[in-house]
Structure 1
């Protein structure tokens, strides 16, 4: 049984996430009230598929993040930031730029909205919060969560503007069907660029990721119209053109993104496994804990077993698993010459906490002390 810990690794982000979340919630409620006031019936009907799409996508991102889960407070902050600050900024800038409807949709909107969604990294990657960004998965996660908040509020607006049953059905198909992962997919390109910049250097990499995000967004917004015009299709043919653009362009991009994130998760898994023997030698974890953390099935079994002793015990077990995983990934990056002083500080902070835990699994305090082992200098 896991006893309550006397201390825990610091994963606080200060008051900033709380303030942003509270102000963002108020802003979203205000936006929703304005949207719903115009056409309450359509708004309520549109809220159903929008909410369903949001829940499904959030579950997918939480599954992606299950290896080293990000703090709930930062997840909520990113979601709220996307649905409030990013939406307000995009709306004001797009309204202020004079352009035709097509130019606004295909050029202005992608440039402005991708910048607005990427702004979440200004919040997440500053101060103590940047210690949470220890992997490519973390960057993709926060970009996707922010984009989901943006897409949810935007979808509500589009549904409220639908003037007929046909328009509403088309919105369901396009906004919560084909395009359900649209905004997260575009912003993923920016996230990859920012990750490459933060780990390898070169600001141009972040700029390149942002440009790719804008291009994908612009092709999705304007590609069907250009294709329909070139083929001489009528308004009804727009949907056919959209399906063609989706199949030819976005299905391969989507598959490629899934492949990249899956491979990255596997690499992170191998990185953690490679560090566990060193962590045992350094006294950070016990052999039993290392064996458990190295095997996802044993992780789940350990969490289920600790849950029999109450929420506090299960929370402590989760905390330990997360701390070990994060410390291992940090050390792997440091050994590869990546990261900076902040990453080293985070690694040392987690190492000290892990070493001083009173509740290590398999620990036998009544045994005579063993001769001290020299841990690797990296630890």
Structure 2
């Protein structure tokens, strides 16, 4: 096993070797020089131990820039790294298309290290024994894969308990207030009617976030914030403002057009903004912001619909027409508030989400401050315009005003937002295709593995293949593998954008990248090398080395469009260090 150069000893661990253990069979011959199955290679990092040259916990990496300063040698935002080739050009030192990689055997010649003709080691005397799976079964490989890190600190636990208690008390207080005002029966009718559209809206946001699903606890927090805290505070403020206006003989329409949009949009946005402040790494881009803000708005709409459907729909009509009259009122209001305008609150708050998403991905401090404010103002204006149409209908008794505004203004904005969200969703797949080739050239991945991440359909096909060759463990490993690769792409994109330049953020980014790479390699072992229909092959960062039926390993250049349907083994090479960090030179 060739040891990595000394200059790379402080960098990430090397990809797994393709010569880990000989392929099984009666003519396999003696094992090649390598560790026992599951044992580490010489110089390989042992799980749980610090990397050679890594600083003590909490200390910055040698050469890391001061807080707020750019990385040494890092290009300006949007510019390529020094020494990087122009778009579409090969990296310096890479062989020309169709030419072998330096050190690789000529076409038709045996691979270095293969036994001489007639010597034990292969049936033909030429084919080297490429790596079989690192573990005998997929279940063993899955059991050896590292679980996500878990830690619990008492301070964080107390903060979590306090936050949950605050949200729960707000929800309970709101429930009591609404129940007292409209009655228990109307409250029950309102809850049952208002919950009907919630699963559909929640599913729409979860479907939008399929490339990199967010933690359920964060999604639940945003929904609970909108349903309990935002609605409770907005109810108190709107009621208080209405009382003040009534005492001063002012129009109550001020609350509808100005007051309600102002406080409601602030409160719906406050939950995701709080999450961004405390858990910034939970936001990868605009899609995450739309999902978090959309769930907060969905929770708010759910609680508000209880009041409208139960109070205005059932309680008021039941006083005159009994239960039947109340049911008719609920049906009419359900059509107006749920079927025709159930998207309203998520649409308004999506303006704030776009502003927050721009702030997440921008290295400019000015953008990070002004973009969320601009988004919040746009949400208030859109909300006020929506409520203003209802006020105009009431004052002018012209229902066509609402229809004109609904079909000419709100529906186009809604459809535009849907199209923008779908474009952002597709862009997440394209981000992996654009960023992860850096790891392909470094030998961590093969080209087809990146190609399988571009669309949801390809990801599902890869999971089906992994389940076929490695059973249920293979499907679970492939799912986790794809999730971590997507997170790795977003992490690398943050580096390219110049985000997280404080010493503690640099340390956290480096540690997270190493953890992701280790997990990716562990998940890879569950399904790699287990497809009997696939040829034995490996990828060295520039080309394939494939064992042909005639018993010779030949170098094969990577085609422009990846055609190998399954992951192949990785060459025993040390990848170039991480670019752009102190102590880590750029790719050469």
Question: Shorter chain as normaliser: what TM range?
Answer: 0.7 to 0.9
Match of 2:344 in 1: 182
Match of 2:293 in 1: 143
User: C-alpha separation between the residues in 1 aligned to 2:150 and 2:512?
Assistant: 8
Verify the 8 A CA contact 2:466 2:478 in the aligned structure 1.
Answer: yes
1:130 equivalent among 271, 275, 280: 280
User: C-alpha separation between the residues in 1 aligned to 2:161 and 2:446?
Assistant: 36
- The reply to whether residue 24 of structure 1 matches residue 190 of structure 2 is no
- How far off is 1:332 after superposition? 2.1
Bigger Cα displacement from structure 2, 180-189 vs 335-344: 335-344
- The reply to whether residue 359 of structure 1 matches residue 523 of structure 2 is yes
Structure 1 residues 62 and 22: alpha-carbon distance in aligned structure 2, compared to 1, 3 A threshold: farther
Bigger Cα displacement from structure 2, 242-251 vs 353-362: 353-362
1:372 equivalent among 570, 574, 586: 574
- The reply to whether residue 278 of structure 1 matches residue 438 of structure 2 is yes
Structure 2, unmatched stretches of 5+, are 1-137, 246-250, 318-325, 531-537, 539-568, 582-588
User: C-alpha separation between the residues in 1 aligned to 2:494 and 2:453?
Assistant: 19
Structure 1 residues 339 and 177: alpha-carbon distance in aligned structure 2, compared to 1, 3 A threshold: farther
Verify the 8 A CA contact 1:223 1:242 in the aligned structure 2.
Answer: yes
Match of 1:118 in 2: 269
Q: Deviations over 1:263-318 (max 9, x none)?
A: 22222221111122212334554555434323422311344566788887655443
Verify the 8 A CA contact 1:105 1:221 in the aligned structure 2.
Answer: yes
Structure 1 residues 30 and 96: alpha-carbon distance in aligned structure 2, compared to 1, 3 A threshold: closer
- How far off is 1:106 after superposition? 1.0
User: C-alpha separation between the residues in 2 aligned to 1:378 and 1:153?
Assistant: 48
TM-score in terms of structure 1 length: 0.85
- How far off is 1:29 after superposition? 4.3
Match of 1:35 in 2: 178
- The reply to whether residue 328 of structure 1 matches residue 328 of structure 2 is no
Point out the structure with the larger helix share: 1
Over the aligned positions, Cα root-mean-square deviation in angstroms equals: 3.2
Bigger Cα displacement from structure 2, 266-275 vs 358-367: 358-367
User: C-alpha separation between the residues in 1 aligned to 2:239 and 2:287?
Assistant: 34
- The reply to whether residue 71 of structure 1 matches residue 215 of structure 2 is yes
Structure 1 residues 267 and 368: alpha-carbon distance in aligned structure 2, compared to 1, 3 A threshold: closer
2:239 equivalent among 90, 95, 117: 95
Q: Deviations over 1:214-234 (max 9, x none)?
A: 1111111122322553xx42x
Q: Deviations over 1:341-369 (max 9, x none)?
A: 47755543332123223231565699896
Q: Deviations over 1:21-73 (max 9, x none)?
A: 45424542453354345333333333333112111100110011111111101
Structure having the higher Rg? 2
Structure 1, unmatched stretches of 5+, are none
- How far off is 1:208 after superposition? 1.6
Match of 1:205 in 2: 371
Verify the 8 A CA contact 1:330 1:344 in the aligned structure 2.
Answer: no
1:349 equivalent among 493, 511, 518: 511
User: C-alpha separation between the residues in 1 aligned to 2:476 and 2:296?
Assistant: 26
Match of 1:48 in 2: 192
SS for the counterpart of 1:119 is helix
Structure 1 residues 368 and 145: alpha-carbon distance in aligned structure 2, compared to 1, 3 A threshold: closer
Aligned pairs (5 A) from 1:276-315: 276-285=436-445, 287=447, 289-304=449-464, 315=476
Match of 1:8 in 2: 148
Q: Deviations over 1:173-221 (max 9, x none)?
A: 2221222111111111112122333424322322221111111111111
- The reply to whether residue 264 of structure 1 matches residue 430 of structure 2 is no
- How far off is 1:375 after superposition? 5.1
Structure 1 residues 35 and 255: alpha-carbon distance in aligned structure 2, compared to 1, 3 A threshold: same
Verify the 8 A CA contact 2:442 2:576 in the aligned structure 1.
Answer: yes
SS for the counterpart of 1:360 is helix
Q: Deviations over 1:232-251 (max 9, x none)?
A: 42xxx54x433332112211
Asked which structure has the greater RCO (Cα within 8 Å, sep 6+), the reply is 2
Match of 1:106 in 2: 257
Structure 1 residues 294 and 147: alpha-carbon distance in aligned structure 2, compared to 1, 3 A threshold: same
Report the count of equivalent residues. 372
Structure 1 residues 193 and 321: alpha-carbon distance in aligned structure 2, compared to 1, 3 A threshold: same
Match of 2:543 in 1: none
